[in-house]
Amino acid sequence: MRFRLIAILISLAIGILSNAQQLGGNTVYNFINQPNSAQLSALGGVNISNITNDVSMSFANPALLRQQMNLQLSSSFNNYFAGIRNYSATSAWYLSKSSTNIALGVNYFDYGNITQTDAAGNILGNFHPNDNVLQIMASRKYLQHWWYGATLKFISSNYGQYRSNGLAVDIGINYYDSVHLFQVGFVTKNWGAQLKSYSANSVKEQLPFDMQLGVTKRLAHAPIQFSLTAHHLQAFNMYYSDSSFNNFVGDNSNSASNSALNKIVSHLVLATQFFISDQLEITAAFNFLNRHDLNIYNTTNGLNGFTLGIGAYLKKIHLRYATGFYQQNMFHQISLNIDWKGNTLFN
């Protein structure tokens, strides 16, 4: 009965929002969709159901917060190309009196120093652009297998004299069957508004709303875990194509994207984790939309859309690394998980 009720609610939400929300390219603050940790990056950048004790995953789905994550701290550094750097941190606490898990997280993007010029090209100095999002997450358990949670985000974007901020909310639910090693997650992301636009005369823009559904299954008799995540369920066609520009540059690569099958798979992210031992895991994933978006204008790479990761579980430290291609460039992300009191961390 509960499954039927949830399916009805999801269907209604999709129907209401399918024509009301905009996709990336028409929204503001798209950096808030970037993965905040090595594990999430290795999982293809989108995952809300992974079975793990990594507190950083609550950044993507607040319903993944668990009591055993109490006092866990996850910090991450990502060295993007072109001098862009990403820093993030997430930590959680369990409030026993209210049986509530809470967490605080931040994801910060540093774009380095950029020369500032006027319209004539005269150098006026330098400025330091950056984006960041501060999140407060909370979750509680319901009955035996259910968790629900919410996230409040304060978003800030600074590009020299152009500054903007906004508020957003995520709402997530999670079903976890520990006996059958099966987990399902559903999240509606980035409900909110731009509070201050980049200039006084500009119109306030919409936030990158996203509706996601994910399933993770760990095999009972093999050290393997699979995840399938669908994102942007509120819209059927995810592809963005400027036909005028395509004709100008003589690019027809988007013509094959018009098929219904391509539009369906563009919503999917597939991931697999191999648990080599109790102390070592390897992750591989494929993001269909990332591959399509990166394979443009003669800059294709056979590994676009693929991500890889490795995790080492020591007694009191969990270390993870993720990498993947952005056309001819690779990113390198490292995450470190510890306990504030130096207690043993569990996988």
Among candidate residues 101, 77, 79, 81, the one with its CA nearest the CA of residue 89: 77
In a domain, 179, yes or no: yes
> Rounded CA gap, 49 and 58, in Å?
10
Residue 240 confidence (pLDDT):
65
Report the pLDDT value the prediction gives residue 191, as an integer from 0 to 100. Answer: 96
Identify whether 346 is part of a domain: no
Cα atoms found within 13 Å of the Cα of residue 346, Cβ hemisphere only? 9
Q: Render each residue's pLDDT in the chain as its tens digit; 347 residues.
A: 445 545 544 554 544 444 444 454 578 999 999 999 999 999 999 999 999 999 999 999 999 999 999 999 999 999 887 789 999 999 999 999 999 999 999 999 999 998 888 888 888 888 899 999 999 999 999 999 999 999 999 999 999 889 999 999 999 999 999 999 999 999 999 999 999 999 888 889 999 999 999 999 999 999 999 999 999 999 888 776 655 555 555 555 555 556 788 888 899 999 999 999 999 999 999 998 888 777 766 566 778 889 999 999 999 999 999 999 877 778 999 999 999 988 888 77
- Specify the CATH number for the domain of residue 291: 2.40.160.40
43 in a structural domain:
yes
**Residue 259 within any structural domain of the chain:** yes
For the chain, the maximum distance between any two Cα atoms, rounded to a whole number of angstroms, is: 67
Asked whether 272 and 278 are in contact (CB, 8 A), the reply is no
Q: What's the pLDDT score for residue 65? A: 97
| Model pLDDT, residue 297 | 62
Which structural domain range is residue 76 located in?
A: 2-339
What pLDDT does residue 18 have? 44
In a domain, 345, yes or no: no
List b or e across 98-127, with b for residues whose CB sees 16 or more CB atoms inside 10 angstroms: eebbbbebebbbbbeeeeeeeeeeeeeeeb
Please, which residues bridge with residue 153 across strands?
135, 168
Please give the tally of structural domains in the chain: 1
Q: Is residue 344 part of a domain?
A: no
* Pairing mode, strands 72-79 and 162-177: unpaired
Question: How high is the pLDDT of residue 247?
Answer: 58
Residues 6+ apart with CB under 8 A from 48: 60, 61, 64, 172, 185, 186, 187, 212, 213, 214, 229
